[in-house]
Amino acid sequence: MIATVQRRVAQLRQSLLPLRSLVSHWFVTTSYVRKWLVLGMMIGVIAGLGAVVFYATLTFCTHLFLGVLGGYRPPTPAGEGNFLGTTHFTRPWAIPLVTGFGALLAGILVFSVAPDAEGHGTDAAISAVHHDPRGIRLRTVVVKIVASALTIGSGGSGGREGPTGQISAGFGSLFARLFDLSPTDARIAVASGIGSGIGSIFGAPLGGSVLATEIMYRDDFEVEALLPAFIASTVGYVVFGAFEGYQPLFGYVGNYRLTGAAQLGWFAVIGILGGLVGLGYARGFYAMVDWFSRLRVPRWIRPAMGGVVVGLIALAIPEVMGTGYGWIQQSMGQRLLQIPLWIVIALPFARILATGLSIGSGGSGGIFGPGMVIGAFLGAAVWRVFEPLTLGLGHDPAPYVIVAMMACFGSISRAPLAVMLMVAEMTGTLTLIVPAMVAVGLATLIVTRTDATIYRSQLRNRAESPAHRILAGLPLLAVTDVQHAMARPRVVATTHDTVSLVNQSLDDSRVAGAPVVDGEGRYVGVVTRAALESQAPDTTIADVPTTVVTPLHDLNHLDQALDTLMTSATSWLPVVDQNRRLVGTLSISDLVRGYRIALQSTLRRLSAVTSDGQREIVVAAGSTLDGEPVRGDVPHGILITSIERGLDVIQPTGDTIVRAGDRLSALGSTAALDQLQAVASPSADGGPATGP
């Protein structure tokens, strides 16, 4: 049965090869704008539909677990009906059982099918952008949808941005594999997926697109992702809104007016508190993660343990359950006065604990949403405590709630600009931008002094990114084509070859695998010795499972090739032309050789262009330069740009030792170069000698 399914899948892939070749070639050769207009729209459609599917699944699970089984209906925000929620638990004894049962189902699903769906999802997607943008499995996406709906819908404290971001990021990863996108384009596709998914579910396309560029680093931006994310987020928002409406999540909360600089003092206080509470959120959440990881119980049981405790806490503080967006809505108006003061003050810390128990235990859900609840009730607590003292806070808590949301999570997520924009879009107001700048700025200063972040997969800046570091250190990689470095394949298997024939070819060539092509020479996959061992000798390669290895295109540059090799499970990659026909292979050694050739060619071209100021000089045996550092006997006014020694090209420093036989590429005046020539290659009569 399994063999039949595998054969059918192989046949389907074979039939789609011509179309796939055509599309892949188009993405390689088309312009930047056309490519990302198409890819951005595709990712955006998936982001919007994924948000719709997850929202519907979460709504169903919430109704089933909390409504039907628990006898409790949580409040909803203005954009989702503005339901005020039930005032008490009709079956309080059922709440801990419901939260524990839903978390148990989620734990069993995650750890039996896709363990990488554990946790809040956004961190895994950020890690994929940096290290393996083609590696997000569709299985993980499906499991994430169901497990997050079970966790949050049964009362667990979590947000819905993590699942939606991972859905569209997963399809961005799928497109990268399907269309043979370069590593750079694959990273942009996954980053755009994160931003568009989150922007769609929150109805905040501008903030989502900026988030795609800002959330990757603690102190930097992935600027290349901005335009693709704009396209994807806009399309995702339009698709989601077509099903769920276009009203801001919390309605239009825009009646604040800044009339004096003194008003900013309270927002400065909120900024300081927001930074401190944000630090507490990150440290408290990961303290719970570490504590659960040390428990000597099966991993699938841990979410249920956390869920039961969350249910017990909810009996006293029901605001800790679910997404909490309905409670944020109530905190923005006079209904805040109906919530006991001790709950308003305690809720930020109770939410930190509940999120650690729900998601840190191994459950599935986002941590963006709880961060907004934590910030909202921090602002609400400041207003509730100090407003009766007539200290100029005003009679509306909404400004303080909104700004505190921005400050608390914007600082600890290290994405202050994106979070400011998202909260502004969710509340339909830009009138709080100036107070928000004060609060978010202070909160961010506090957080950055500790180097803390809620997303552990974030890198510090682009210099720490493997891809950007490679290009900065070896710039010629970005202008050298793969076709100038690739090698001839040592073994090529065809789909009609037998296992015994291919095994013999592998033995003769002493290689562990070979690319597979169809009858027209189009690349199919890679077959390995391990895959052949379990097959009968007369089995054809068409019936042998092949390893999916993303090929390089001959028009790709070497920086893309090196990036792909670093994230690939193989030590070499097949190279295909515009029709997806196999034309060669590329290994690390081939790439290094190609880079050396490119560097030497560049130096020779430079010599031809600047013949009066540049010269290649060979150091002869017996020269005073032999065995001395570059800074030693080299005449004043000479710059040694490179030293070619055998097959190696050395970028010299002042301490580099010169050896006989070295070919020096030197810049300087004609007189100085003549002097260096005389020192490097003295003739028998002591006069200058000409170089070879």
| The pLDDT value given to residue 472 | 60
The structure tokens 């599935």 sit at 364
Residue 99: both structure tokens together: 């939260």
Per cent of the chain over pLDDT 70 is 91
- Greater model confidence, 672 or 212: 212
**Does residue 415 carry a pLDDT above 50?**
yes
Identify the band that residue 437 occupies on the pLDDT scale cut at 50, 70 and 90.
very high
What is the C-alpha R_g of the chain?
A: 31
Find all residues with CB under 8 Å of 127, minimum gap 6, and list them.
Answer: 457
**Does residue 467 carry a pLDDT above 70?**
no
Identify the band that residue 473 occupies on the pLDDT scale cut at 50, 70 and 90.
low
Q: Amino acid identity, residue 466? A: P
Element (H, E) at 585: strand 582-587
**Does residue 687 carry a pLDDT above 50?**
no
| Alpha carbon distance 631, 247 (integer Å) | 70
**Does residue 2 carry a pLDDT above 60?**
no
Identify the band that residue 250 occupies on the pLDDT scale cut at 50, 70 and 90.
very high
Kindly report, residue by residue over 72-91, the tens digit of the pLDDT.
999 999 999 889 988 888 89
Determine the length of the chain: 692
Kindly report, residue by residue over 287-328, the tens digit of the pLDDT.
999 999 999 899 999 999 999 999 999 999 999 999 999 999
Residue 90: both structure tokens together: 């009709």
Neighbours of 84 (CB within 10 A): 15
Identify the band that residue 530 occupies on the pLDDT scale cut at 50, 70 and 90.
confident
DSSP class of residue 68 equals: I
Residue 348: both structure tokens together: 């930020």
| The pLDDT value given to residue 684 | 41
**Sequence ranges of the domains in the chain:** 31-463, 610-680
**What pTM value is reported for the model?**
0.78
Per cent of the chain over pLDDT 90 is 45
What mean pLDDT is predicted for residues 597-618? Answer: 65
Identify the band that residue 686 occupies on the pLDDT scale cut at 50, 70 and 90.
very low
The structure tokens 């949580």 sit at 74
246-250, 251-255, 567-571, 654-658: least confident range: 567-571
DSSP class of residue 64 equals: I
The structure tokens 């108006």 sit at 333
Residue 330: both structure tokens together: 């109530």
Neighbours of 350 (CB within 10 A): 22
Most confident of 434-443, 522-531, 654-663: 434-443
| Alpha carbon distance 162, 355 (integer Å) | 13
Kindly report, residue by residue over 111-125, the tens digit of the pLDDT.
998 887 787 778 888
**CA angle (382, 386, 391) in 5-degree steps:** 125
| Alpha carbon distance 193, 8 (integer Å) | 31
**CA angle (108, 110, 116) in 5-degree steps:** 155
| The pLDDT value given to residue 319 | 94
The CATH code of domain 610-680 reads 3.30.70.1450
- Greater model confidence, 316 or 558: 316
Q: Amino acid identity, residue 231? A: I
Confirm if 60 and 620 have CB atoms less than 8 A apart. Answer: no
| The pLDDT value given to residue 237 | 96
Domain 31-463 superfamily per CATH: Clc chloride channel (1.10.3080.10)
| The pLDDT value given to residue 439 | 96
Look over the chain and give the mean of its residue pLDDT values, rounded to a whole number: 86
Neighbours of 560 (CB within 10 A): 24
What mean pLDDT is predicted for residues 9-31? Answer: 71
- Greater model confidence, 17 or 158: 158
Most confident of 483-492, 543-552, 680-689: 483-492
